[in-house]
Amino acid sequence: MSDLSFVRQQYLNYFKSLDHKIVPSAPLVPENDPSTLFTSAGMQSMIPYFFGAAHPEGKRVANSQKCFRADDIEEVGDNRHTTFFEMLGNWSFGDYFKKEQITFVFNFLVKELKLDPKKLYVSCFSGNKELGIERDNEAAELWQELFQSVGVEAKIIDNPEEAGLQDGKIYFYGEKKNWWSRSGVPVNMPVGEPGGPDSEIFYDFGEQDSDLARAMHAENPCHINCDCGRFLEIGNSVFMQYQKTNSGFVPLAQANIDFGGGLGRILAAYQNQPDVFKTDAFLPLIEKIQSFTSFSYDDQDKQKYFRVIADHMKAAVMLMSDGVFPSSKEQGYVLRRLLRRALRQAAYLEIKQETLVELVPSVVEIYADFYPQLKEQQAKISQVLADEQKKFSRSLSKGLKEFEKMLAQKSLFTAEIAFYLYESFGFPFELSLEEAKNRSLQIEEKIEEKYQSKKTFHSLNSKQGSQAQFKSGLADQGEMTTKYHTVTHLLHAALRQVLGDSVEQKGSNITAERLRFDFSHPKALTAVEKANVESLINEWIKADFEVDKQIMPKSEALKTGAVALFIDKYPDIVNVYSIGKNPSGNKKGEDFISRELCSGPHVERTGVIGEITLTKEKAVADGIRRIYALQKSA
């Protein structure tokens, strides 16, 4: 058994012996929680139980939860940050509280895992008078007794950020460090959100002899929350006992415990190995990568690439195992970003991109004993990866060439260039930015905001017409534009009916003369498909369907089955346009032909449009087709 499996099993066994029910890991994509793309903490699925809902397994549960933190993608490269990790967690829903929790954690680390208590340090909340939340002397004293019970002196120290370590063991920090809620510090919490003070445990790897540590300590003293590499946070007990209201905090009806500890980090402490990439959670991956390249993991210039590839490939496999596949939006986009970043970095180690697929078995080797489904999914995951790699390698060389060409003319890397690279070659924005930084180019100010607004504008412009653009378009061009706008919806619906729901609108452009429409589809339409799409649209036009407009809150609209590709970008109140009530022959049994969130305007009935014809159809980017429609009589 690997040490990874051993530490996980010890934890689960220990909490089982303390009357906890061991519950399975929730999936990496949370169920029924549209507020977040990924599960990033074990407690995410536990929120209702902090408020008193009965957990089906009782008041004490524990698990090892798969987590993914997209925010950390750029952080990967040091010896501790990873995007995918497992979080060991135990919860008390109004059952045991502070005293038991602190004792449980201490005993698990010191008695079960036999970590040296001299290497453990803890932090507690220093309190906040304005919020009416007291300094957590109780936690500090509990820790002190426990350390003393194993013969370790445990001094309590205030203000460690300025005062430094001072031979202490227990340190008081403010809410930036010792308060936990899903939205961070108290002032950022929305009304209704639960949170509370917490107490963290750190492992000491000893003073670091590195340039980073020296630079950091030239100005500031070392303390347990310092990032010099000496201390690693390995667990956090949250005393989940408050709820934010309009007028400050009130106690929850029950006091809860939410403990989370990174399994990979506890393992690093267990193996006394400050580099998590050298522990059992990563070693098979690092060794495999090592076998592909003549560079060494210990080569300081190259280490980062080993770590990024290992982390991203592992995360990608785990995400795919939970049903995420590369695409251009949401979870699929994050996965694509991870994969393309890993594939790009392979070049820096002189590894062929296609070789990275061979890392899949190493991930399976690390996790298959606890996640047996990985073995069954291995072949499929490898296939998806190989496909994505092929797609990317085709666009990569073209994209890089284009990149160089554009940059030969400009020394400034702009949002416009990034958007072009994305649109034409599928370069994720973050990757382009990284390429630009690697070439020490000047980066346009606020590039990310500008890029996002370009993307949004482009999408909305094609999807629903930015209001201003459409209005001015109409004033100039009269009713033909409105007709073509309605045809856009019919065309989208017909393409989905003929080619399947994987078709998504990617853009459109309307003039008085014609409609241009971009959509996702891997290959050219056959003559039969194109004829079918055209005849469906004309059938719907002839049927003279009513175009119905309803105004409703976005949340309601999404429940109606309306197509909405840019959910975050719509206002809270939206128009929902439906065409064709109760049509016969809708394969999915829906009571409409087309339903989309859209700012309009549209014709009132499809009959006014007149017969249309589909003309050119061609590729505009990898997986994106462009088709033109015009009205026969126009």
Sign for the pseudo-dihedral over CA of 393, 395, 396, 401: positive
Shortest distance (Å) from residue 236 CB to ligand SER: 4
**Is 331 a residue that touches ligand SER (CB under 6 A)?**
no
Task: Find the part of the chain contacting ligand SER (CB under 6 A) among 130-138, 258-266, 293-301, 493-501.
Answer: 258-266
C-alpha closest to that of 627 among 502, 538, 541, 505: 505
Q: Which two tokens stand for residue 29?
A: 């994509």
Q: 194, 195, 260, 284: which one contacts ligand SER (CB under 6 A)? A: 260
CB of 8 to ligand SER, least distance (A): 16
Instruction: Give yes or no for residue 264 binding ligand SER (CB under 6 A).
Output: no
236 binds ligand SER (CB under 6 A): yes
Q: Which of 12, 23, 43, 281 binds ligand SER (CB under 6 A)?
A: 43
Using CB under 6 A, pick the residue from 41, 232, 384, 494 that binds ligand SER. Answer: 41
Spatial neighbors of 461 by CB under 8 A, at least 6 apart, are 469, 507, 508
592 is an interface residue for ligand SER by CB under 6 A: no
Which residue of 121, 249, 259, 545 would you call a contact of ligand SER, by CB under 6 A? 259
Q: Listing from the earlier edge strand, what are the strands of the sheet with 547-553?
A: 547-553, 573-579, 594-597
Q: Which residue is nearest to ligand SER (CB)?
A: 260
Q: What are phi and psi of 215, to 5 degrees?
A: -65, -40
3-state secondary structure (DSSP) of residue 207: coil
Cα radius of gyration (the chain): 28
175 counts as binding ligand SER under rule CB under 6 A: no
Q: Give the interface size with ligand SER as a residue count (CB under 6 A).
A: 10
Cβ atoms within 10 Å, residue 254: 17
Residue 108, C-beta contacts closer than 8 angstroms, at least 6 positions apart = 10, 11, 14
Q: Does 42 bind ligand SER (CB under 6 A)?
A: yes
Select 100 or 548, whichever has its Cβ closest to ligand SER: 100
Cβ 125 to ligand SER shortest distance, Å: 14
Query: Distance between CA atoms of 154 and 445, rounded to whole angstroms?
Result: 49
CB of 327 to ligand SER, least distance (A): 28
Determine the interface stretch with ligand SER among 36-44, 188-196, 462-470, 597-605 (rule: CB under 6 A).
36-44
Residue 566 makes CB contacts below 8 A (sequence gap 6+) with 456, 459, 460, 463
* DSSP for 379-399, written as a single string: HHHHHHHHHHHHHHHHHHHHH
Q: Residue 84 CB, nearest distance to ligand SER (Å)?
A: 15
Is residue 14 at the binding interface for ligand SER, with CB under 6 A as the rule? no
Closest CB 235 distance from ligand SER, rounded Å: 8
Site for ligand SER in 73-132 (CB under 6 A): 89
Q: Cα angle at 152 between 146 and 156, to 5 degrees?
A: 75
Least distance in angstroms from the C-beta of 174 to ligand SER: 17
Structure token digits, residue 432: 């382009």
- Nearer to ligand SER by Cβ, of 259 and 371: the residue is 259
Cβ-based neighbours of 473, under 8 Å, separated by 6 or more: 465, 481, 510
CA-CA distance, 306 to 252, in Å (whole number)? Answer: 46
| Contacting range for ligand SER; rule: CB under 6 A; set: 38-46, 201-209, 342-350, 445-453 | 38-46
Which residues would be at the binding site for ligand SER (CB under 6 A)? 41-43, 89, 180, 236, 238, 258-260
